[in-house]
Amino acid sequence: MVTMTEQPSDAVEPVTDSATGPPTGPPSGPPSKQPSNPDASPAPRWADAVARNAQALARPLEIARAGGVDDHELAVALRFAGAGFEPFLDRQRAVANSVALTDEWALGWASTVIRLVTARRFADGSLAQWVVRWVAPLVPADRGCTPAAIGDLVEAAARLDGQVDVTGWARGVESAVGAWPEGEPLSDLRLREVGAVAAWRAGFVRLRGAARAAALTLPPEVAAAVLGTPGGPATVRSALAANASRPGEWPGVAGSRRSIGAFRGFGGPWRLPPVVLGGDGHRWSVRSGSERFTVLTDAFGTAVLAAPEGSGTLDPYGTQSAGPPQSGSPPQPIELPPGWAGHGGDVTGAARAAGLALVSHAHSHRLSLVPDDGGAPTPELQAP
C-alpha cells in the first residue's frame, strides 16, 4: 500500500537569487537537492485529497507497479507533488474552498505524477519535477482550466528543454496568467496558445507562425506581457505587423547579430563548413557538403533543420535553384560585389533580405547573421 508517511531521501528546494532573494515564480535554473527534514509532515490538504482518491488512483498505481515501480518510489513522488499542490490551492481559493474541486485537481495532479514515475521521468532534479513544483501551481483553475493542463505543461517543457530557456518560457506563462483579464475564460486551449507565444518569445523559432497567429487572438495586455513590448498593449499589434516583414527586429530586443551552428563533432549540425545559398530574412538555405539545411532566424531565436531532399534553395525572390553539389574539399572564397567587402575576404556564400545578411566563410563552421543596410536584396552568392 502506498502512503505518504515515508520520507524521501532528497527534497528539491528553490534556487535563491542572491540579488533579489527567494523567487516568487519558477527558479532560474535546475533546483538543487538538499537533505530533507525527517520530521516533516506531508502537505495536509494534499494528503487528505489523495486519500479520498484512493479508489480512483488504484488503477494507475497498479500499472506503475506492473512497470517495476516500487511503493517507496511512488510514495516519495506523491509526497513531492504535494509541495506544488499546496501553493496551487493558496492561489486558487475557489478550488481550496470546495472539497469536490480539490479532489478533482488532486486526482489529475497525482495521476500525472504516477504516469511520469512509471515512464521514469520523475527522478530527483528532473525537468518534470521542476514543472510540477514550480510551473503547475500557475494553472488558473478558477478561469476554466482543467487538470489536463498539468500534463500539457510537462510535455511542453520536455519539448523545449535543451532548445530554449525553459525558465524564460515558464515566466512568460506566469506573466500571461497574471495579466489575463478578470471575467474572461482561460481554457486549456487558450493556455496552450499562451504557452506557444511564451515559447516563441523564449527562442523557439519553429513556433513562430503559430505563435504569431495566437498572439493576435490574445487580449492585448496578455500578448504584451508575454512578448515584452516596451510600449505595452497599445503597441503589440504594430510590433507584430513590423516583425512580419522584418523578422529579425523586435522593440527592445537586440538579437540580430549572432553566430549560428558549429562543427558536428562539437555538437553542431555541420560536417563541413557550411555555405549560404539564399534566404528571405527568416528562412535561409544552407549546404554542408552534400547535405542541405534550412536555417530559421528571427529576433528571438535560431534553429537549424535538415532540409528534405530535393527541396531546392530559398533565395530572396522566392525562386528555386538546386545549387551545385559540393565535394569533400573545403568551399572556396568567392569574389564579392560592392557592398559586401565588410564581411571579409573568405566569404563562400551570402544572402541579404529583410535588413539581415547571412554569411558563410571558407574556414569556419559558424555562419554569421548580421544587420544589413546594404539596400535591396541581392541574388544569392555561392562558391562554384
**What is the structure's pLDDT at 257?**
87
For residue 129, pLDDT over 80 is answered with yes
User: Can you say whether residue 228 is alpha, beta or left, with left for phi > 0 and alpha for psi between -120 and 50 degrees?
Assistant: left
Q: Nine-digit cell at 234?
A: 497599445
**What is the structure's pLDDT at 339?**
56
Confidence of residue 328 (pLDDT cuts 50, 70, 90): low
Can you tell me which residue has the cell 516596451? 230
CB 171 within 8 A of CB 132: no
Distance CA 94, CA 101 (A): 8
Distance CA 248, CA 281 (A): 7
For residue 150, pLDDT over 90 is answered with yes
Distance CA 278, CA 6 (A): 61
Considering only residues 228 and 24, tell me which one the structure prediction assigns the higher pLDDT.
228
Q: Nine-digit cell at 204?
A: 523557439
**What is the structure's pLDDT at 352?**
87
Mean pLDDT (the chain) is 82
Distance CA 169, CA 199 (A): 5
* Residue 121: Cβ within 10 Å count: 15
For residue 165, pLDDT over 50 is answered with yes
**What is the structure's pLDDT at 153?**
97
**What is the structure's pLDDT at 346?**
80
Considering only residues 31 and 383, tell me which one the structure prediction assigns the higher pLDDT.
383
* Tens-digit pLDDT profile for residues 187-240: 999 999 999 999 999 999 999 999 999 999 999 999 999 999 998 999 999 999
Least trusted range by pLDDT, from 118-127, 134-143, 342-351: 342-351
Beta strands in 11-130 (DSSP E): 11-13, 32-34
**What is the structure's pLDDT at 74?**
96
pTM higher than the cut 0.75: yes
Contacts of 86 (CB under 8 A, 6+ apart): 43, 45, 46
Distance CA 377, CA 358 (A): 12
> Which amino acid is it at 31?
P
* Tens-digit pLDDT profile for residues 245-260: 999 999 988 767 899 9
**What is the structure's pLDDT at 137?**
95
* Tens-digit pLDDT profile for residues 355-374: 899 999 988 999 999 988 65
The pLDDT of 72-86, averaged and rounded, is 95
| Upper half-sphere CA count for residue 223 (Cβ side, 13 Å) | 19
Confidence of residue 23 (pLDDT cuts 50, 70, 90): very low
CB 6 within 8 A of CB 72: yes
Among the listed residues 153, 111, 138, 128, the one whose alpha carbon sits nearest the alpha carbon of residue 31: 128
The pLDDT of 160-169, averaged and rounded, is 94
